[in-house]
Amino acid sequence: MEIGAYSFGDTPLNPDGSPRGTAEGIRNLFDAIVLADRAGLDYFGVGEHHTVSMPASSPGALIAAAAAATDRIILGSAASIISTDDPVRVFQQFATADAISGGGRIEITAGRGSSVETFPLFGYDLRDYDTLYAEKLELLLRINDSPSADVTWSGTVRPAIDNLAVVPRPVNGRLPIWLATGGNAASSARAGRLGLPVSYGIIGGEPHRFAPLAELYRRSAGQAGHTGENIKVSVATLGLVAPTKAEALERFHPAWHNLTVEMGRLRGWPAPDRRQFEAQSQAPGAYYVGDPDDVAKRIAHLHGYLGHMRHFLQSDVGGLPHEHLLESIELLATEVKPRVARLLAAK
């Protein structure tokens, strides 16, 4: 099982709760990725969000920088909002990072995003939401699957491309491209039909309830004739690891509180309830907040339902102190990962 982390960037807060610089959030994220690589974490996913509190708007740029500063870690977007981006540019940015990395550890995860802030920012119409996603995903895959640098494509959401070069080409010929979904059944079926690996972002509820979706994904893939190593599942959840469960809860609660207040303002949620936080932070809840034993057990338990090959945590939300993120990453790599491996081997 690969263990990883992901982030949308987390702008640090002043003692009075006001945000510090967004650039500081990006620099912290970069430093965290470098540390994750040194510690032996398997994967780091970046962005894409476009808010003052979550400023990782350009995963391609950050991943290219991180590719130069790391040796082993797999780097990917989490996710790239391709509906409102140009798939040609997304591919070029990640293929560039792939070249810098030496090849084989740069991935794209394509998604729609859970909010629609990119539509007004880049001048798209929400009425085209489904068409934009379907066509741009198709173009991204067309570029990636092209046997040569030259690509031909036509559609309705972007000017046609008539036998034009899209470069650089990935070192290994193609980039791994994942499809991200938050649990819509049709998205799981789509990933299966397309033969793409699927990445589940599970932000609440009980993660093991995604089991039917993973089954739907695998059966859809099988029906479309897709088998082999590209048919795989990864899981992204909130979480934080600390030396003890009590410390993990104390550290993550203020961050979760701030995140929930900000999301609640946009979506009309009630004031955050500590009891709900505590409940979600225990099995079978969705927050992987705990000591290494606790988090490892819960990841291994979820594996029994989803058979996922990668589990990665988002910890830096709501102004989480940077040192707590770094310690969590260190513990994920050095303590959680070997425990998960032992638990799965014993099954």
Partner 1 sequence: MVTTIGILGAGRVGSAIARTALKAGYAVHIAGSGPAADIELIVDIVTRGAVAMTAADAVASADLVVLAVPLHKYRSVSPATLAGKIALDTMNYWQPIDGDLHEFTADTRSSSEVVGDYFAGARLVKTLNHIGYHDLETDARPAEAPDRHALAIAGDADAASVVAEVINRFGFDPVYAGPLASGAAFEPGSSIFGGRRTAEELTAELGLAAPETAALETAEAA
Q: Which is nearer to partner 1, 209 or 342 (CB)?
A: 209
Q: Which residues bind partner 1 (CB under 8 A)?
A: 115-117, 119, 126, 182-186, 189, 204-206, 209, 212-213, 215-216, 219-220, 223, 264, 266-270, 273
Angle at 312 between CA 29 and CA 297, to 5 degrees: 135
Q: Which is nearer to partner 1, 6 or 210 (CB)?
A: 210
Q: Which is nearer to partner 1, 118 or 144 (CB)?
A: 118
Distance of CA 61 to the CA centre of its chain: 16
CB of 200 to partner 1, least distance (A): 12
Q: How far is it, in rounded angstroms, from Cα 225 to Cα 70?
A: 37
Q: Which is nearer to partner 1, 4 or 285 (CB)?
A: 285
CB of 175 to partner 1, least distance (A): 29
Q: Which residues of 166-203 are buried (b: 16+ CB within 10 A; e: fewer)?
A: beebbbeeebbbbbbbbbeeebbbbbbebbbbbbbbbb
- Measured in degrees and rounded to the nearest 5, phi and psi for residue 159 equal -55, 150
CA distances to 207, 248, 316 from 28, rounded to whole Å, are: 29, 20, 10
DSSP 221-286: HHHTT--STT--EEEEEEEEE-SSHHHHHHHHHHHHHHHHHHHHHHHTPPPP-HHHHHHHTSTTSS
CB of 213 to partner 1, least distance (A): 7
CB of 131 to partner 1, least distance (A): 13
Q: Which is nearer to partner 1, 182 or 321 (CB)?
A: 182
The pair of three-digit structure tokens given for residue 109, joined into one six-digit string: 């995860």
The pair of three-digit structure tokens given for residue 41, joined into one six-digit string: 């974490």
CB of 339 to partner 1, least distance (A): 27
Q: Which is nearer to partner 1, 92 or 115 (CB)?
A: 115
CB of 284 to partner 1, least distance (A): 9
